[in-house]
Amino acid sequence: MRGLRHAPDQMLHRLRRSATQRALRAQQQPRTILVVCHGNICRSPFAAGVLARALGPSGTVVASAGFVGPGRGTPAAGITAAAGRGVDLSTHRSQLLTPALVGAAHLIVVMDAPQQRRVCERFGRLPGEVIVLGDLDPHPIATRAIHDPVDQPLEAFEESYARIERCVDALVAELAPLSGPRVTEDAGSYALQGRGRE
């Protein structure tokens, strides 16, 4: 039954990937990118770290946030898995998703479709401005969502982070032909500085 439940995700993946790539190519270079997951302790801070590292010090400000629980650190297994992939989450603390953060972001990246709907409905963003990271996966997928490894062993973090890294690489490849990001880092997290959309 679980396989059947995710069959539409698998069948539609190629179409969704192409649509997401077209949407990214139609945009100007995003100067601010906000990565969102449920609690902002596992997936979104790691994705933000990989994204910031890949873009380099040339223009885009990268931040992460979540829907619940500000001020929490990344679990030990998450810190270990991230460190193995060159991202330091040891000082990360979660922050809540706010209208100011959403309003300042030129591009928002989420971990699943319900999060995309929630951001659009709550904050009035267009679906083309909020992408589901798993839609960019160049591999065949089991599910559209990036699995949340919270409260699970190291292996679950490794699996989730491997997919996030793969999808971020695909995102960066779409942004690469566009001009210019700048990255700022604050205590191991990537802080979005209040810039409105233009």
| 59 belongs to a structural domain | yes
Q: What is the pLDDT of residues 71-118, one digit of tens each?
A: 999 999 999 999 999 999 999 999 999 999 999 999 999 999 999 999
| 12 belongs to a structural domain | yes
Instruction: Give the H/E segment covering residue 116.
Output: helix 113-123
Q: How far apart are CA 178 and CA 80, in angstroms?
A: 33
4 versus 8: which is more confidently predicted?
8
| 198 belongs to a structural domain | no
| 161 belongs to a structural domain | yes
Q: Which residues are catalytic?
A: 37, 43, 148
Q: What is the mean pLDDT of the chain?
A: 88
| 186 belongs to a structural domain | no
Domain region containing 112: 2-175
| 149 belongs to a structural domain | yes
| pLDDT for the residue 136 | 97
| 188 belongs to a structural domain | no
| 181 belongs to a structural domain | no
Write out the two tokens for 156. Answer: 């679950």
* Whole-prediction pTM: 0.86
Domain count, the chain: 1
CATH number of 64's domain: 3.40.50.2300
CB 136 within 8 A of CB 109: no
Q: Please list, residue by residue across 48-74, b when 16 or more beta carbons sit within 10 angstroms of its beta carbon and e when fewer do.
A: bbbbbbbbeeebbbbbbbbeeeeeebb
The set of residues, in sequence order, having a beta carbon less than 8 Å from that of 14 and lying 6+ positions away, is none
